[in-house]
Amino acid sequence: MRGLHLLLFICLLSFYLPSNCFATNETDKFALLSFKSLISNSLFGALSSWNDSLHYCQWQGVRCGNRHPDRVTVLSLGSLSLSGHISPSLANLTFLKSLNLSNNQLTGNIPIELGHLSRLQVLNLSVNNLAGNIPSTLGNCSNLGFLSLRTNNLQGAIPPQFGFLELLEELDISFNNFTESIPSTLGNLTHLSALLLDENNLDSFIPPSLGQLKALKHLTLSFNNLSGKIPHSIYNLSAMVKLDFAFNQLDGKLPSNFCDALHNLQHIYLFGNQFSGQIPISISNCSAMIMIDLSSNNFIGTIPYSIGTLQKLSWFSIESNLIKATGDDWRFFDSLTNCTFLQVLDLGSNLLQGMIPGSIANLSTSLKILGLGFNPISGNIPAEIGKLTNLITLELGLTFIEGTIPKEIGDLWKLGRLGLNENMLSGEIPSTLGNLTLMNALRLQNNAFTGSIPEELSNMQLLNTLNLSNNKFMGSIPKKLFNLHSLSISLDLSNNYLNGSLPPEIGQLNNLAEVYLSNNKLSGQIPSTIDGCHLLQILHLDGNQLNGSIPLSLSKMLGLQDLDISNNALSGPVPDFMGKMKLQYLNISFNNFEGELPKDGVFRNASAVDIRGNSKLCGGVPEMHLPKCVLDNQKKKHHSKIIIVIICCIGGIICLCITMFWIARFCWKKRSQNNPLPFVAKNSEYQKVSYNDILRDTDHFLSENLIGRGTFGAVYKAPMKFENVTTVAVKVLNLKQHGASKSFFSECEVLRKVRHRNLIKVLSSCSSIDHQGNDFKALIFEFMPNGSLETWLHPNTCTNRPFRSLSLIERLNIAIDVATALDYLHNHGPAPIVHCDLKPSNVLLNEDMTAHVGDFGLARFLVQPDSMSSLLTGSTTGLRGSIGYIPPEYGMGGQASVEGDAYSYGILLLEMFTGVCPTDERFRDGLSLHMHVEMAFSDHVIEIIDHKLFPINDGRENENADNIHNCLVSVIRCGLLCSKLSPKERIGIKEVVKELNSARMKLLR
């Protein structure tokens, strides 16, 4: 009887409980394994835990429910570098509520089977390489509240079925290739708070049905092909916070009651459309407004005086419209004084007339950008403008302003961009401009400035663009101007009255891309040092009085594309090496060149070369229409005599060769011992140093003089005199250490072939015998008083010296210095060189914190120079580096490469800005510094930045917070892209230099 009752109880229990309480559900497991089977790559084996050693609910990224412990409810595998296809079997995870595969490298189509996931609430497939159409079946996921497909390659139309997702709160399908029109069914999404459709190719009109989205806060339709007018119903969305219709083809007028209902509106972007009519006065009713950008439209009329009632306004731009102002119309300047948070005021390219009012001094002291250029403004620049001390950009170009530059502009010490070009300004440039030490771009062209170019401009050590062309400057070019190593974009001094010779210091501009010195009165020869401008792409020296021949050093300017040396007095032959350069345009017309014209390179294209006015030229390709080059009889006889003399000498030379060979062999050993710098010092420019000199100056290698120790030796501080140097660093090789001798010769070979301001400078070396008869080798470098970057990033672990923390701008400058050095080694040296051991301890800092890359003991030439011995091979067999910085492919026997250096630099960059060493104890079980940073990028990037970069808040809001954040995002992005697992995915150092310079500009702005 008791057994019968037990059987009845079990039957009843089985009726009320689901079947999965009695048996493990295998459907979800097989679905996950099917998904894994289509994934071809993952970051550091992210799916390696997906095996039978763990229950599938414990696999990485998998979470199961509480009520149904064997059913998967969450699958989160974002930012793991997954590649492959999305398996349709995920549709079998019928209890799935959240699916996140964002920020990977997935390809293929979105499976239509995902529409069967009726419990799905979150679907995030953003930032992948998915293609094809959005499956309309996603409209069946009735519980979906968040849907993001942004930044893919999706195309076609937006499915109208999305309008059935009644619980949807955020829809983001921006940055794709969708076409056709916006489906009107989206107006059914009454819970929608964010609709983001920007950066597609949507056309047609904005459906009025969107005006039914009463909960909508963010509506972004920018960068599409939408046309027509904005539906009036949109202006009734009272919850709206951000309205972005930028860069479409929308037209019409803004209604007079534009802001009557939009009380919560904070951001409105309508720039790049075809709106017309006046700016409605009702815009002042949007009391929460922070940013207004109406630029690049056809607005007319005046700026409403009531604009000043928007006390929270930070950004106001109506650039490139038809707005006018005369007389009292300028009163809006007075009203803007109430906008105490105003940072950007751009009124350029309009019809503003008359004089700039003196009330400009009453504008917010927070103002950072002021644009008034390209207006018919007249009068003088008001001296009161000097009170806007936080300005970083001042644009007053292309107006009718006259008079002189007020010296008060020198008070704008934060100014980074100053545009006074195309005006009627005259007089001399005030020396107070030299106070603007943060200047990036100075444009004063097309005025009537006189006098000489002030030397004080050399104080602008961050200047990348200087344009003083089309003025009346006289005198010589100041040599100090060539100390501006920051000049990287353009130097334009053309069309002035500058005289004298072209200073040899021009070769110091080793980062500059364009030089224009045309139509001056420069004389003398083209300096041979010009090859120092190894990044130069455009060089215009035409219209001067230069003489002499084309210097041989020009052949080293491998990036030169546009060369104009016409209308001078240059002579001699046109060198053959010019046919081997990458020139795309060459103008040598109206000089005195003679001889045969080369036929290679740019000379093959007659339309790309101008040779007029050189009557003694001959040869060349037939399209040049030059006479043939013919040797006369005298030249033939002269050549015959030379041939006879050569034949007679051959016999004697053969006899001498044998004798010289034995003499050279006998002397080699003695010479190798006495030569202070093997491979490096083959001339007299290096001061000889003996073993006794080093022993004396290091106090017999006293420990108090020890400043560092590495794999192959120790570094001592010593008082030695070399030119202007009185203190040096002596690297003594430990020759008992395997590879130390090879490291010594490697470093000598590299350092004799490179010269760069961000590479450690070798002063001499010693290869001798110590007092015990053992071989002794040492290198003497310039001493870096601020030590290594390692001691600044991790002072507690490196030394007991209390260092202050490096500031953000100091770290950024150091990062740019190191990247510039690598760029030189990889792309601009005599042969591509790979450092192979980049880390903080090999980055040294001089007295002004300029970074120098050192320790080339593991360096490799990718292309063998002729003079290299077999000691330096391109193979990385047995290659050693430093743990944490070695690229993964080196550990698998990969070849040394510039991509390997990029990886080490990426880790170094991440370490500099997070303060975390790549060998930190937290990085275990496959976790790495790259992964640690990538998981926080980019929304939480501030959370992983070194806290020492942000001192304790004193209660005031950081006015530069946005710039700091944007700068850090750019820097961290560079670090992540450089340290990608696959070498093919890493960006080049040249791109890093550009990106970091851009980040520095963002920070300074």
Which residues in 209-247 are b (16+ Cβ under 10 Å) and which e? Answer: bbbbbeebbbbbbbbbebeeebeebbbebeebbbbbbbb
Instruction: Assign residue 78 a region (left: φ > 0; alpha: ψ between -120 and 50; beta: otherwise).
Output: beta
For residue 233, the number of C-alpha atoms closer than 13 Å in the C-beta half-sphere is 11
909 touches 815 (CB < 8 A):
yes
The pair of structure tokens assigned to 365 is 């002291």
Pairing of strands 83-85, 39-41: antiparallel
Three-state secondary-structure class, residue 393: strand
From 346, 817, 837, 901, the catalytic residue: 837
Cα–Cα nearest to 763, from 731, 802, 805, 811: 731
Query: Are 94 and 68 contacting, i.e. CB atoms less than 8 angstroms apart?
Result: no
Quote the CA–CA distance of 743 and 721 in Å, as a whole number: 26
**Helix/strand/coil for 953:** coil
State the distance between the two ends of the chain, measured CA to CA, in whole angstroms. Answer: 89
Which residue spans within 770-876 are E strands per DSSP? 775-782, 833-834, 843-845, 851-853, 860-861
Looking at the DSSP bridge assignments, the partners of residue 492 are 467, 516
Asked if 829 and 753 count as a contact pair (C-beta separation under 8 A), the reply is yes
Q: Confirm if 409 and 387 have CB atoms less than 8 A apart.
A: no
Does residue 52 carry a catalytic annotation?
no
Q: What type of residue is 96?
A: L
What stretches of 698-830 show up as alpha helix (H) in DSSP?
740-753, 789-793, 795-798, 808-823
Whole-number Cα distances in Å, 735 to 740, 779, 871: 5, 13, 16
Task: Identify the helix (H) or strand (E) that includes residue 448.
Answer: strand 448-449
Please tell me the distance from the alpha carbon of residue 681 to that of residue 725, in angstroms, as a whole number. 18
- 359 cis-preceded (ω within 30 degrees of 0): no
Q: In this structure, which amino acid lies at residue 319?
A: E
Give every CB contact of residue 168 below 8 A, 6+ residues apart in sequence: 144, 145, 146, 147, 162, 189, 191, 192
Q: Kindly state the tokens that stand for 907.
A: 């880790």
Catalytic annotation, residues: 837
